[in-house]
Structure 1
């Protein structure tokens, strides 16, 4: 929609801009897998960080923070400069867009502009394209919602737009919406933010077993108002030292038997109401990392992990040798058929595995039962 609306010359200029990673990613026809994203979202670890997401792939914890986000997208993720104000008069151009001057545009309004801006100057069409990228990719919000006015005005000043840390804005938006999603008793849910980053993050984690950036020994990204979490700090050190306790999140099974509970006698000087208050159940503990493996983690979280862990172990045993033997042949071809044992497909009609050769080039291998 944006490519056709702004024209080829403006589209090429957008690809070379500071947010050019998004139109370039679109042109790669990136493979989308909702199941991968859903798995990452529903296997999160409980952390007290406002701007970090931790998830488990098998036993391996991986982190999505500003550092990983910047490494994936290549966007400017510097700290916000409160003194960097964009003082431009947007009212005249907003009038051409038919947008109220007190707010930023919505995608619905920009769609109408894209249908009538083909004869506009190159500079104006680039501005329209930038507004679309901000809405679709940087903020990743619904078509009816509006870009914040202070951010939208920066499209009119090419220098102010280029130096702004859009990577920090996009990362903050994505992580905020991840933490707001509710998965309770829903067949589907809607998530905002540039969700494709989650997909690339998951592929990179599978490719290198854990995706964890280590840039100039800066292990923790800087955010104003970020919370401290000692469990996360210990986990980071163990990842770097390659000594993560693989059993830290194992499910501890206990047998439960039903029995009639006798009513306990209450001392005569204690009322029944006060006695019941003392018997209130304690809240569940967070799923905390324990290097010694002594603490019992959250049963609810680990129940979700158990099924996938067993599947991954079975896949590694049955398929790893044949998969690695055919991987070299898969690179550069569209379809490769592997002769797999019937036991590998006991419960599967087919299995799709996507390998990331780098951030933006993917090879898709489809396994079919013989």
Structure 2
């Protein structure tokens, strides 16, 4: 029996056709800066700081203390290996030939931050909230951090000479370590710190000798065992329906899981690349025409 393709099953295409991915960048800029934490600590005092450190939000303080090392190569690999997804509050990536989702559910699992739904608007002066500890503790900081991160991922122009990501971008790197255990073991510098996944790795820079795709293919069985909650948390009022993503999620969550699927090489973002290179690359529009 032949293995079915994602097109046969009505699943989404790759975002970029194989061979038409954006050129690798030397580095990815990000606005996830932590230097201000020392100023906040000095402002509120040691007693209040120790209390904050014990809150769920204290995971950020412990993360900084862990001296995590950023790797733009891993995050760029995720971004260029996305699946086409119309839904704004989630991203799907291929690890080798196996899809995995990054949404508020995965973000919460990785960081253990408060991601509960809260209809209140973000205060103008966030720093002052630390002086109202009950309010500070209950605020859904995790949800706010995720919204900024995923919005940044969705709007970034990967074909640009350089680009910048906003939010808690290191979460994406740890997510990759979490989805592909052998990748985390090889270059994640696992730590013995108790806590959520964001604290269990120290990261590593300079991973040019690692082929992330090959490592992912070799770890396919573990990737397939990654739990994906079939109920996607609501992040915004976005009501966009993506039948292909829904079909993929339904297949993953059914008894027995997804099974073997071959992801065809052509993707949705290829028309401009085709014009630039003169190569003949099929896209989603052509695929849809064939079905008519």
**TM-score tier (shorter):** 0.5 to 0.7
Q: Distance between the aligned counterparts of 1:2 and 1:12, measured in 2?
A: 17
Asked if residue 246 in structure 1 is aligned to residue 261 in structure 2, the reply is: yes
Asked if residue 171 in structure 1 is aligned to residue 146 in structure 2, the reply is: yes
Greater relative contact order (Cα 8 A, min sep 6): structure 1 or 2?
2
Q: CA deviation at 1:185?
A: 4.3
Match of 2:106 among 56, 64, 68: 68
Match of 2:84 among 24, 46, 60: 46
Q: Distance between the aligned counterparts of 1:24 and 1:287, measured in 2?
A: 50
**TM-score, reference length from structure 2:** 0.58
Is residue 213–residue 219 contact of structure 1 (8 Å, CA) maintained in 2?
Answer: no
Q: CA deviation at 1:18?
A: 3.2
User: Over aligned residues, Cα RMSD in angstroms?
Assistant: 3.1
Is residue 82–residue 94 contact of structure 2 (8 Å, CA) maintained in 1?
Answer: yes
Q: Distance between the aligned counterparts of 2:150 and 2:95, measured in 1?
A: 19
Q: How many residues are treated as equivalent by the alignment?
A: 195
Q: Distance between the aligned counterparts of 1:14 and 1:286, measured in 2?
A: 52
Distance 1:23 1:48, change over 3 A: same
CA deviations 1:25-82 (Å, max 9, x no partner) are 1112223221001111111111110100111111111111010000001111111134
- The 5 A counterparts of 1:139-154 are 149=124, 151-154=126-129
Asked if residue 191 in structure 1 is aligned to residue 162 in structure 2, the reply is: no
Is residue 19–residue 75 contact of structure 1 (8 Å, CA) maintained in 2?
Answer: yes
Q: CA deviation at 1:202?
A: 0.7
Q: CA deviation at 1:198?
A: 0.3
Q: Which moved more, 1:222-231 or 1:1-10?
A: 1-10
Q: CA deviation at 1:193?
A: 1.0
Is residue 251–residue 258 contact of structure 2 (8 Å, CA) maintained in 1?
Answer: yes
Is residue 69–residue 197 contact of structure 1 (8 Å, CA) maintained in 2?
Answer: yes
Segments of structure 2 that go 5 or more residues without pairing to the other structure are 1-34, 182-221, 268-281
Distance 1:168 1:212, change over 3 A: farther
**TM-score, reference length from structure 1:** 0.47
Q: CA deviation at 1:162?
A: 1.1
Name the residue aligned to 2:233.
Answer: 221
Asked if residue 159 in structure 1 is aligned to residue 134 in structure 2, the reply is: yes
Q: Distance between the aligned counterparts of 2:59 and 2:96, measured in 1?
A: 30
Match of 1:34 among 46, 58, 72: 72
Segments of structure 1 that go 5 or more residues without pairing to the other structure are 86-146, 253-282, 296-370
Name the residue aligned to 2:284.
Answer: 285
Name the residue aligned to 2:27.
Answer: none
User: What is the DSSP-based 3-state SS (H/G/I as helix, E as strand, rest coil) of the residue aligned with 2:99?
Assistant: strand
Q: Distance between the aligned counterparts of 2:93 and 2:142, measured in 1?
A: 21
Match of 2:223 among 209, 216, 220: 209
Q: CA deviation at 1:249?
A: 2.9
Distance 1:285 1:180, change over 3 A: same
Distance 1:234 1:35, change over 3 A: same
User: What is the DSSP-based 3-state SS (H/G/I as helix, E as strand, rest coil) of the residue aligned with 2:64?
Assistant: helix
